[in-house]
Amino acid sequence: MKTKFVLLALFISNSIMSVAQLDIQGHRGCRGLYPENSIPAFLHAIELGVHTLEFDVVISKDKKVIVSHEPFMSHEICTTPDGSKIEINEESKHNLYQLSYDEIKSYDCGSLYFEKFPDQEKLKTYKPSLKDVVDAVNNKLNSVGISTINYNIEIKRKAKWDNTFHPEYHEFADLVIAEIEALGIMDKTTVQCFDVPTLQYIHETYPNVRLVYLIYNQNGIENNLELLGFNPAVYSPYHGLIKAGTAEYCKERQIQLIPWTVNEVEDMQKMIDRGVDGIITDYPDRLIELTQSTTK
């Protein structure tokens, strides 16, 4: 009986320790609460207490790194400079790779009601450059007395979009890495991607960059890592693909396991119980509340 109590105490202690070390990542800032990939969303995520800001980047006509999930203006979240609605079949006409940053900033990507996130704060905002995001974040950190925050930056490359919606992957990666280095955030940044050639190119060309392998397939971790050809810093699958034993497999290979996008509290708890190293969520407020209640 005494042995059982000791084992239970160790389990509880280890669980609390893992929760305390959990990397809380705000998906696209905090998409469930503020317009996605916007400066207000990132600043609010910092106020909530996230450890890492997760977001996507594309390239503008004037070769600036722009924070956006799509390389075009989505009909779900954006309106034209004159306030007109963008129809789904006209999104490609609003191609960010064919727009300058000044032109991109003239679109409103925060005022539309977004049915997927009914509680999202509505406000007029735009798709910012990576530089403007980092500058705003640094000002926020200084004002609230926080020393640092991490970045998890996704390169949104699709082979079929090369030279149409973004540069081919070598140039795309070069532009993003150069901007990260210029902004002085390399030591607190991971670069993530679903695209294997992009990850392989960065691994070979910029070996100091910590890479995240995004996964949305059922091929299994062994097959995915074999295809990649090296162990990334982080393995990041859709949370429904994580099975019992996945965390142990990653730990044996010194790979962090950080699933996406975990929005329901019961799923967050399930991921914590599975032993993940971090969680990407549209609702960091829910995850923070859960971790605080767990560690009390």
Place 4 in a pLDDT band, splitting at 50, 70 and 90.
very low
Cβ–Cβ contacts within 10 Å for residue 69, how many? 17
pTM for the full predicted model:
0.93
pLDDT in tens, 187-236: 999 999 999 999 999 999 999 999 999 999 999 999 999 999 999 999 99
Cα distance between residue 203 and residue 232, in whole Å: 9
Query: 112 and 76 in contact (C-beta within 8 Å)?
Result: yes
Q: Is 273 helix (H, G, I), strand (E, B) or coil?
A: helix
Q: How many CB atoms lie within 10 A of CB 233?
A: 17
Q: Residues 56, 65: contact at Cβ < 8 Å?
A: no
At 6, which amino acid appears? V
Residue type, 260: W
The tens digit of pLDDT for each residue in 50-72 reads 999 999 999 999 999 999 999 99
List the beta bridge partners of residue 261: none
